[in-house]
Amino acid sequence: MHRILKAISTPTAKTSAIFYIGNFTNSIFRYLFHLVLLRFLAPAEYGEFLSYLSLIYLLSIPMTTIATVITKYVSEFKGKEDKVSINLFFHHILHTFTPIAFLLSLLLVLFSGPLAILFKAQAPVFVILGISVFISLFQTTLNSYLIAFQKFIFQTVLGLFGVVITILISIALIKVGFGATGAVIGQILGGIIPSIIIFLKLKSVLVPKAVVKNAPHISFTSFMGYSFLFALGTMSLISTDILVVRIIFDPHSSGIYSSLSILGRIILFGLLPLVGLVLPIASHRHAATGSAKSIFIKLGAVITLFGLIGAGIFSTFPELIVRMLSGPAYLEVAEYLPLFAFTMVFFALSQFITSFLMATGKPKATLLLIAASVIQPLAFVLTGLAISHIVMVNFFLHACLLTSLIITYFHLSHRD
C-alpha cells in the first residue's frame, strides 16, 4: 500500500493525472460535438462531414510531423534548461515550414473542383480547408510548445473553451443552412481563438528572437523523417476506411459507417490523452536520467486497463449505446460495434508503443505503421468492399500491428 501511495504521489504521476483528467474532459466535449452533428445532420450529411474530417487528418500529416518534432526537442531543451534553444527553435520551425504550408494551401485551393467531384462534396469547403492548412502551421507550433512546457491545466481550460466555441459556431451555421460545410467552418474557427491566447501566454519566451554570438546548431533531419512516417501511418490508418467508404458506397451507407467509426472512437478519444503524455514526459525523463522504462510500464498498464474496460462495455451493450448516442437511425451499426471498439484499443496501444520508442531514440518502429497503412487499402480490395469486410480487416490489421510493436519493444529493450 505504501508503494502504491508513493507511486501516485510523485510529480510525474500528479502531472499525468492532471493532463489525463483535463484532456479526457476535452475529449468528452469533442465527442459531444459529433453527437450534436448526428442529431442535426442526416446520415448522408454526416458522412459528408466525416469525409471532410478524414481529409483534414490526411492534410495534417505535415503538421503532425512538426508537432512530434517540436514536442520531443522542446521537452529535451526544457529538461536541460536551454532557454536559448527553446527560443531559436520556434523561429527556425516557422522559417523552414511556412513556404511548405503555403504551397499545400495553394494546391488545395487550385484543385478544389476535382476534389469536390471525387468526394461528392462542395468545392468551397476545399478552399476553406486550403486556408486552414496555412493557419494550422502556427496553431500546431504554439500547441506543441504548450505541451512541451507541460502547461496541462492551462491547456485543458483552453481546450474546453475551444470546443465550446466550435459547437456553438457549428450549430449556428448549420441552422442557417450551411450543413456539413458549417461544421467544418466551426471546427476551424474554434481552433484559431485558443491559438491566439496561447501565443499571448508564451510571447515572452518566444519573441523577440534571441541574439547570440554562437547560436546552437539544431539538427532534426533524421527524426523529422521518422516523425513524418509516424504521422503518415497514423493518419492513413484512421482515415483511409472513411474515405474508401465515401468514394465507393452510397451517401447513406457512408453515413452509417461514419456513425460506427465515431462511436468506436469514443474508446480512442478516451485513451489518446494518456498516449499524449508519452512523448513529452518520456523525452524529458530520458534526457534527464537516460531511462524512461517506468513511464512505459505505468502508462502502458493504465491504457490497457482503461481500454479493455471501455471495449468490454461497448461489447456488452452495443444496441443501447447506439440508441443513446447516435439515435435509432443508426441501429444497424450495433452488430459491428464490439469488434470496432477493440480495434480502437489496439490502435491506441500501438500509438503508445510507437510514441515511447520515438521518445527514447528508437524511431524505426514507425516503419511498422507505414507497412500497416499500405496493407490496409489493399486488404479492403482483396477481401471485398463491404462494411462487414472493412470492419474485419481493420480488426485483424491493428491486432497484427500491435503484436509486431510489442515484439519490437522487447527486442530493443533486451538489446539495450
Mean pLDDT of 262-290: 77
C-alpha span between 15 and 230 (Å, rounded): 26
- Return the minimum-mean-pLDDT range out of 162-166, 242-246, 409-413: 242-246
Domain count, the chain: 1
In this structure, what C-alpha cell is assigned to residue 231? 504521422
- Cis omega before residue 208 (within 30°)? yes
At 350 the pLDDT is 92
Confidence of residue 38 (pLDDT cuts 50, 70, 90): low
Neighbouring CB atoms inside 10 A of 193's CB total 14
C-alpha span between 307 and 343 (Å, rounded): 10
At 8 the pLDDT is 44
At 360 the pLDDT is 80
Confidence of residue 415 (pLDDT cuts 50, 70, 90): low
Confidence of residue 122 (pLDDT cuts 50, 70, 90): confident
Confidence of residue 398 (pLDDT cuts 50, 70, 90): very high
In whole numbers, what is the pLDDT of the chain averaged over residues? 79
Domain that holds residue 232: 2-211+218-415
pLDDT reading at 78 higher than 70: yes
Residues 258, 50 contacting (CB under 8 angstroms)? yes
Assign 133 to helix, strand or coil: helix
Which of 281, 287, 275, 293 has its CA nearest to residue 416? 293
At 13 the pLDDT is 56
pLDDT reading at 401 higher than 90: yes
| DSSP 8-state code for residue 362 | -
What pTM was computed for the model? 0.66
pLDDT reading at 2 higher than 60: no
Which of 93, 36, 107, 70 has its CA nearest to residue 283? 70
Residue 181 C-alpha from the chain's centroid: 21
pLDDT reading at 58 higher than 50: yes
- Return the minimum-mean-pLDDT range out of 13-27, 94-108, 156-170, 192-206: 13-27
At 183 the pLDDT is 76
Mean pLDDT of 364-374: 88
pLDDT reading at 34 higher than 80: no
pLDDT reading at 395 higher than 90: yes
Write out pLDDT tens, residues 142-169.
Answer: 888 887 887 777 877 887 888 888 888 8
